[in-house]
Structure 1
Amino acid sequence: MSDSNLSEEVLCREIVYGGKVISVARDVVKLPNGKNTFREVAVHRPAVAILPILNDGRILLIRQYRHPVKRVIWEIPAGLLEEGEDPAGAAQRELREETGYRAGVLERGPSFFPSPGFCDEEIHVFIGKELAQDPLDCDDDEFVRVESVSLEKALSMISSGEIVDGKTILAILWLINSLGISQR
């Protein structure tokens, strides 16, 4: 079966909830076998995530309370794209808001869908290098603490379950792989 035979055709969409961060749609779709069914979709603006690297090789992580999981977690800086904003511009803005640094060099990493079974969110990952102090104010509802760790410590934090955020794990492992660092 070719990929074209796996696609579903959206026959209609109803927005059943519209919020600040997500909307929820109920789609009626036609399946490859011709039958119709429903799909629930969390509709989400695209986002960026930035792995900032200090000149000495340490990376910047933030600590932030995340209400859906009811705990403070380790993350890399991240946020939503504003209307009409390009991902690189959003990455610089979020980096400045959440860490107080601007990247002199911003390298594009992978883009991915964190939960494609129910959500259309796409996250664009960047690596920030040649950091210089250039802070912007955080959003009014955002409270973060910035800490620096070595890549080795970050990898250990992933292995021990201290870092549980998917975009952060992906970005750190992608960086380690792109640098050709052996993961033992």
Structure 2
Amino acid sequence: MDNKKQRSDEEMKWNTLSSEQLINRPWLKARRDTVQLPNGKVYDEYYVLSYPTWINVIAETEDGNIILERQYRHGLGVVSTEICAGVMEEGETPLQAAQRELEEETGYTGGVWQEIMTISPNPSTMDNLCHCFYAHGVKKTSRQHLDDTEDIEVLLYPKEEVKQMLLRGDFIQALMVAPLWKYFSINT
């Protein structure tokens, strides 16, 4: 580290001079801010995306398999293998959202739950967080209850196979790769 005195968080913060809402939809809001940096420079086009709080779940069944999902992801135009994930609805805690999403997307419930990390999708241009959970001992109790845009194939994989998939780079969603690495770092 340089011998310079470290600046405080307040000294490094940008000052928002004005804000203009460009998009205001339930699942996405976008605004253009005019900001002044600590060095005095002003930028009149800094864009911030606002999404609801996200959750994801590494779910392990009673017999030790990991629940994975396959679904089409239009942004990249690919079918992606992922862990369960979704959006926190108004009035829910992150845990309640995670439990609801797991049941809706896979039909699995119960088990013992713990939050293993909270991460930012992109703190530079996005203002939401993603709460990552590990649920072990879940069991199939219902059918899927999917949204109109969801077409999810549910798969059960042994833990070692999921770890090999992670090592091969089979998972492309960064918000899922991070908790999977954490899971395997504390559960092997």
- For residue 13 of structure 1, what is the amino acid of its counterpart? S
Paired residues, number: 180
Aligned-pair distance for 1:32?
0.9
Mapping for residues 42-53 of structure 1, pairs under 5 Å: 42-53=49-60
Q: 2:183 aligns with which of 141, 161, 175?
A: 175
1:116 aligns with 2:116: no
- For residue 41 of structure 2, what is the amino acid of its counterpart? K
- Equivalent in the alignment of 1:96: 103
Q: Is the 8 A contact 1:158 1:164 kept in 2?
A: no
Give the whole-Å Cα distance in 1 for the aligned partners of 2:55 and 2:120: 12
Aligned-pair distance for 1:158?
2.0
Mapping for residues 149-160 of structure 1, pairs under 5 Å: 149-160=157-168
1:130 aligns with 2:130: no
1:13 aligns with 2:4: no
Spell out, residue by residue over 1:119-157, the C-alpha distance to the aligned partner (whole angstroms, 9 max, x if none). Answer: 112100011122122335111221100111122211221
Give the whole-Å Cα distance in 2 for the aligned partners of 1:20 and 1:67: 19
- For residue 41 of structure 1, what is the amino acid of its counterpart? V
In structure 2, runs of 5+ residues without a counterpart are: 1-6
Give the whole-Å Cα distance in 2 for the aligned partners of 1:134 and 1:176: 27
Aligned-pair distance for 1:36?
1.8
Spell out, residue by residue over 1:18-65, the C-alpha distance to the aligned partner (whole angstroms, 9 max, x if none). Answer: 234211110111211122213101111101101101122221010010
Give the whole-Å Cα distance in 1 for the aligned partners of 2:113 and 2:92: 16
What value does the CA root-mean-square deviation take over the aligned residues?
Answer: 1.4
Greater CA radius of gyration, 1 or 2?
2
Q: TM-score, normalised by structure 1?
A: 0.91
Q: 1:73 aligns with which of 63, 80, 86?
A: 80
Percent of residue pairs identical: 32
